[in-house]
Structure 1
Amino acid sequence: MSTRLPVRLARLLLGLVLFGASVALMVRADLGLSSWDVLHQGLAARTGLPLGWVVNGVALVVLLLWLPLRQRPGVGTLTNVALVGVALDAVLAVLPPVPALPVRVGLLLLGVLLNGVATALYLGARLGPGPRDGLMTGLAARGLPIGRVRTLIELGVLAVGWLLGGTVGVGTLLYALSIGPLAQFLIPRLAVPTPGRPAPTGVTPSCPA
């Protein structure tokens, strides 16, 4: 397994960078974001902070919620907290707003697809879940139905984000309907093979998990 660690780390880092880039594409499309990113955008609008800072800050807060659940973060979890928002802000800095609707639609579709690839890469590295996914699985481990937990969390952050001014639209629906099938298709194909362990196919993230 040690011989594969550099490969897993490389896929983790690439996946997290691409995740941040995919969110930036969806932001510039301005046609709706994932539930968590609606919350991030709303908080950024209200605080004046860069969106990437908010993404990383919310991830850190969610990670603190792991403590009473006795969840243990992996290197992938901690890297997630530090890297996704940085990649997001870097892409936003070089990609200006786009007025043309056909281009925005293209950015949305590319962002959702890239998000699926990024999800498969970082989950397939098997180095720890993202903070948000760990929160959901931690609550499920306490006896709560994971489907209900995820639905309540997703709807809750979406509602709060919308009230704060985050963008809800067709992209929100497209992401919700497509990210699960995309991840399910791509994870087994992009995961680093590990003898005796199947490719991860569990909870697919709604954000940089």
Structure 2
Amino acid sequence: MNRIIRIVSRLLLGFIVYGLAIVVMIHANIGLSPWDVLHQGISLKTGFSMGQISITVGVIIIVIDALMGEGIGFATLGNVFLIGTFLDIFENLNIVPYATNLFFGMIMMIIGIILAAIATVLYLKPALGSGPRDGLMLAINKRSTKSVGTIRAIIELAALTLGWILGGSVGIGTIISGFGLGYAIQIGFKISHIESKSLIHQSVYETIKLFNKNEKEEISQVETCAEVDKQ
């Protein structure tokens, strides 16, 4: 049970930090990160919040991930529904200031990238399912000779292009995050000794099955100890 609490706490922290990271990058005010350019572009066209759009886009990408054979786990579902939720919460709390000049904007963008990389490592390491966008990155990585950083950059540039067409905000911060985030995650993987090509995520079904198995084994051990005590 303690292990489950630690894992859930780690995942939740990762989702909270990622939601905060997105807000920090938005408030850097020097151009949105590629995915947020897309989310903002769709938001401008539909009237829904960026958090709501992030959730919707995440659901669509989950379907693509599943078709590419990437497992859908509890962390995947949490990523889709919680990061967008925390994004909206932090925006509504209005606790992150807006940068008023280019220098502070670039500092905030770098901080946001570091936070996003830390968050990614936090929720990927338990291997309970990658985020939908990370799942797409990892699925392609396993089928190519390109590094995870390069693949992340290509995916985000594609999202950027579509978002820009829809009216999303593009600036120097977009370029920094577009190239920087993938490599920041790659560095985080190395520091945490995570090998992206060998990551095997548990699906929701596999996690539930393993939990039930462990629970039965614990009950069996308790019953065995009880029998020994009686003797």
* Bin of the TM-score, shorter chain as denominator length: 0.7 to 0.9
Map of 1:26-105 to 2, 5 A cutoff? 26-95=25-94, 98=98, 100-101=100-101, 102-105=103-106
Q: Is the 8 A contact 1:123 1:187 kept in 2?
A: no
How many residues of Structure 1 are paired with residues of Structure 2 in the alignment?
193
**Please, what TM-score do these two structures have when normalized by structure 2?**
0.72
* TM-fit CA distance, 1:133: 2.3
Bigger-Rg structure (1/2): 2
1:206 matched to which residue of 2?
none
Separation in structure 2 between the aligned mates of residue 118 and residue 44 of structure 1, nearest angstrom: 24
Q: Is the 8 A contact 1:9 1:125 kept in 2?
A: no
* TM-fit CA distance, 1:153: 3.2
Higher relative contact order (CA closer than 8 Å, sequence separation 6+): 1
1:163 matched to which residue of 2?
165
2:182 matched to which residue of 1?
180
151-160 vs 117-126, which deviates more? 151-160
Q: Is the 8 A contact 2:27 2:99 kept in 1?
A: no
Q: Is the 8 A contact 2:33 2:174 kept in 1?
A: yes
Separation in structure 2 between the aligned mates of residue 152 and residue 110 of structure 1, nearest angstrom: 22
Q: Is the 8 A contact 2:25 2:108 kept in 1?
A: yes
Separation in structure 2 between the aligned mates of residue 169 and residue 10 of structure 1, nearest angstrom: 35
CA deviation vs aligned residue, 1:114-168 (integer Å, no higher than 9, x gap): 1122122112232211112223433555x56656865553332111101111122
* TM-fit CA distance, 1:171: 1.2
Q: Does 1:200 align with 2:206?
A: no
* TM-fit CA distance, 1:11: 1.1
Q: Which runs of 5+ in 2 are unaligned?
A: 198-231
Separation in structure 1 between the aligned mates of residue 153 and residue 16 of structure 2, nearest angstrom: 26
Separation in structure 1 between the aligned mates of residue 98 and residue 2 of structure 2, nearest angstrom: 44
Q: Does 1:133 align with 2:134?
A: yes
Secondary structure at the counterpart of residue 65 of structure 1: helix
- TM-aligned CA distance change 1:33 to 1:125, over 3 Å: farther
Q: Which runs of 5+ in 1 are unaligned?
A: 192-198, 204-209
Q: Is the 8 A contact 1:17 1:87 kept in 2?
A: yes
- TM-aligned CA distance change 1:186 to 1:67, over 3 Å: closer
- TM-aligned CA distance change 1:68 to 1:179, over 3 Å: closer
- TM-aligned CA distance change 1:6 to 1:188, over 3 Å: farther
CA deviation vs aligned residue, 1:66-119 (integer Å, no higher than 9, x gap): 343333201110111110001101111122763621543443232122112212
Q: Is the 8 A contact 1:28 1:97 kept in 2?
A: yes
Q: Report the AA paired with residue 202 of structure 1.
A: S
Separation in structure 2 between the aligned mates of residue 70 and residue 174 of structure 1, nearest angstrom: 31
Percent identity of paired positions between Structure 1 and Structure 2:
34
Separation in structure 2 between the aligned mates of residue 181 and residue 70 of structure 1, nearest angstrom: 24
Kindly report the root-mean-square deviation, in angstroms, between the aligned alpha carbons of the 2 structures.
2.6
Separation in structure 1 between the aligned mates of residue 187 and residue 153 of structure 2, nearest angstrom: 22
